[in-house]
Amino acid sequence: VTTEPVERTPKGKVSPPGPAVISWSGLKRWEHCPQHHLRVIRKEVERSQMGRVFLPGTICDLVQRRWLESAAPQPGEMAEMVGTVFADVVAEGESVIKWRGNPLQDQQEVLAYCRQTVTTLEPWLVRNVLPYDYQPEVRFRAHMKVPYLCEGERLFGIVKMIGGIDIVVRDDQGKFRLYDLKTTKNDGYIRSTLAQLIFYDLAWGVIQGDFYHAVEWGFVTPALPEPYIPITVGREDRAAMLSRIIKYCHGVWADQWQPKADDDGCNWCEARGSCEKFREVPIVDENGKQRLSFTQAAAQRAQYRQ
């Protein structure tokens, strides 16, 4: 994402803004707290402490991908792959894993959860993916032009949508289906992220030059009683997603990175250490000593709550 100010060409014309990069998680983060998103872009956040929370999902995702990418996926293999993938993910150490209680016991619980989940997942993949042409983990970059009004001039800026679709399937009729794997037991979480597939559909439509290219969208949910949650994506859903994306781009191009007004979740925010709202305010006292001003820091926090 560029945060450069708009520039004028030698003839006095306003230059279009640089490209705004947007992922689904980035869009949600920016909508929740623009300051948090800025700190992530600038890599000014602490290493994630949430490794344990996301561990089962990361393992199941990777097992699914490796199994679908293998030359001839066979039933029963996915559960057998869990141990190796678990070891790989833990060794990689991308985020901090804080084991719950007894580490060995907790690790066994993660392994059991993942084996159970992929054992439910596998027959679904055998029925709905293996018989067709498919591609797991489809990384995409989709470019769109977005209108932008700057100093009275109508410009077009570029937005670059990025992300990865867990599985894309082309069925017997040549129609495409987009699937996302969710290994949570919390169906409320799935309901809160339904628009993720609308984001993917929009990007897929841009890449293919056809917004009717995909005909089925769904969350594969092997840890829930119902292992598949289909959603529908229509014209209005795409329009609503497009307006969220345009709002994001305008915010980025206008350098709007304000911290959110309330403090909910700020205590465990990965960006708190670099957040403007919680920045320490150094002062020099009457003896010439460097100190921190607690009152000025409080005034700074209050400013963002107005």
- What residue ranges bind ligand SF4 (CB under 6 A)? 33, 35-36, 39, 259-260, 265-266, 269, 271-272, 275, 277-278
List the alpha helices (DSSP H) in the chain: 24-32, 34-41, 51-69, 77-92, 103-128, 187-192, 195-208, 235-253, 294-305
User: Closest CB to ligand SF4 among 142 and 269?
Assistant: 269
User: Closest CB to ligand SF4 among 177 and 277?
Assistant: 277
User: Closest CB to ligand SF4 among 33 and 206?
Assistant: 33
Instruction: Return the structure tokens found at 109.
Output: 């619980």
User: How far is Cα 205 from Cα 266, in angstroms, rounded to an integer?
Assistant: 36
CB of 301 to ligand SF4, least distance (A): 9
Q: Which residues are within 8 A (CB) of 165 and not within 5 positions of it... i.e. 6 or more apart?
A: 137, 138, 140, 178, 179, 180, 200, 204
User: Closest CB to ligand SF4 among 40 and 158?
Assistant: 40
CB of 87 to ligand SF4, least distance (A): 33
- Long-range residue pairs from 263-270, CB within 8 A, at least 24 positions apart, any chain: 263/301, 268/49, 269/33, 269/36, 270/36, 270/39, 270/40, 270/45, 270/46, 270/48, 270/49
CB of 305 to ligand SF4, least distance (A): 10
User: Closest CB to ligand SF4 among 69 and 262?
Assistant: 262
Q: Under a CB-based contact definition with an 8 Å cutoff, are residues 122 and 81 in contact?
A: no
CB of 29 to ligand SF4, least distance (A): 9
Count CA within 13 A, CB hemisphere, residue 87: 4
User: Closest CB to ligand SF4 among 34 and 56?
Assistant: 34
Of 100, 66, 105, 107, the C-alpha closest to 86 is: 107
Instruction: Return the structure tokens found at 274.
Output: 């670099």
User: Closest CB to ligand SF4 among 182 and 260?
Assistant: 260
CB of 290 to ligand SF4, least distance (A): 24
CB of 218 to ligand SF4, least distance (A): 31
User: How far is Cα 146 from Cα 287, in angstroms, rounded to an integer?
Assistant: 55
Q: What is the CA radius of gyration of the chain?
A: 23
User: How far is Cα 151 from Cα 240, in angstroms, rounded to an integer?
Assistant: 26
CB of 51 to ligand SF4, least distance (A): 19
User: Closest CB to ligand SF4 among 164 and 251?
Assistant: 251
Residue 254 φ/ψ, nearest 5 degrees = -90, 10
CB of 252 to ligand SF4, least distance (A): 16
CB of 46 to ligand SF4, least distance (A): 11
User: Closest CB to ligand SF4 among 245 and 275?
Assistant: 275
